[in-house]
Amino acid sequence: MYVKKLFKLFKNLHNNNEVIFFYNDIVSLARNEDLYTKGGVPDTLDGRFELIAMHCHFFIRRLLSSGSENKVFSQHLINYMVTDFDRSLREMGVGDLSVGKKIKFMVSGYYGRASAYDRAIEENYKILDEVLKNNLYGTISPKKVEIKYMKKYIKDLLYFLKAMNDNQVKVCFKNNINFKKDTSKC
């Protein structure tokens, strides 16, 4: 009995570390300097949130399509993302009483953006410009070249994720894959 509990504890610790590493890799992707310089995303709290939410959603979308084990992993990923948002707000000095309200707003924003991105993808990217302007660029007016850059970036990322085998999704960062380079031949 004690051994089973200990084994479960270590398994949960391993799974939690796997989620943390995966999330941190997604955040690293979202902090790609080109997204701010060429893509025109503001390097602000809002811009960073937008890029983390977008990247997380695309990876979670792919995880959800790849089996029940990855569905559980994707839920842990969402939970950790929310925990990271909470931690970040507290580090910035947001008071304890208002953190919960802000997190609720951020989570609602995440799901609204996820829905908008899904709708844009399902409609063959016809409304992606508008989705990007309303979400990714919500606080600024982007240039056409910036929107074009972000549309190509998103299409490349989605192509990269779609081309993966289901068993590769959780380990895709272990190979230091540059999806832009890998999809340039397509």
Tell me how far apart the alpha carbons of residues 96 and 86 are, in angstroms, rounded to a whole number: 10
Tokens of 69: 């084990």
Q: Is the pLDDT of residue 2 over 70?
A: no
Q: Is the pLDDT of residue 79 over 70?
A: yes
Tell me whether residue 6 is in a domain: no
Tell me whether residue 107 is in a domain: yes
Residues found in the chain: 186
According to the model, what pLDDT value does residue 167 have? Answer: 84
Tell me whether residue 43 is in a domain: yes
Tell me how far apart the alpha carbons of residues 155 and 58 are, in angstroms, rounded to a whole number: 11
According to the model, what pLDDT value does residue 177 have? Answer: 59
Tell me whether residue 3 is in a domain: no
How far, CA to CA in Å, does 154 sit from each of 30, 60, 99? 12, 14, 31
Tell me whether residue 30 is in a domain: yes
- Number of structural domains (the chain) is 1
Q: Is the pLDDT of residue 82 over 80?
A: yes
pTM (two decimals): 0.85
According to the model, what pLDDT value does residue 68 have? Answer: 81
> 91 is in which domain, residue-wise?
18-183
Q: Give tens-digit pLDDT for 110-165.
A: 999 999 999 999 998 889 999 999 999 988 999 999 999 999 999 999 999 999 88
Tell me whether residue 9 is in a domain: no
Q: Give tens-digit pLDDT for 30-62.
A: 999 999 999 999 999 899 999 999 999 999 999
How far, CA to CA in Å, does 173 sit from each of 21, 26, 84, 134? 9, 9, 20, 30
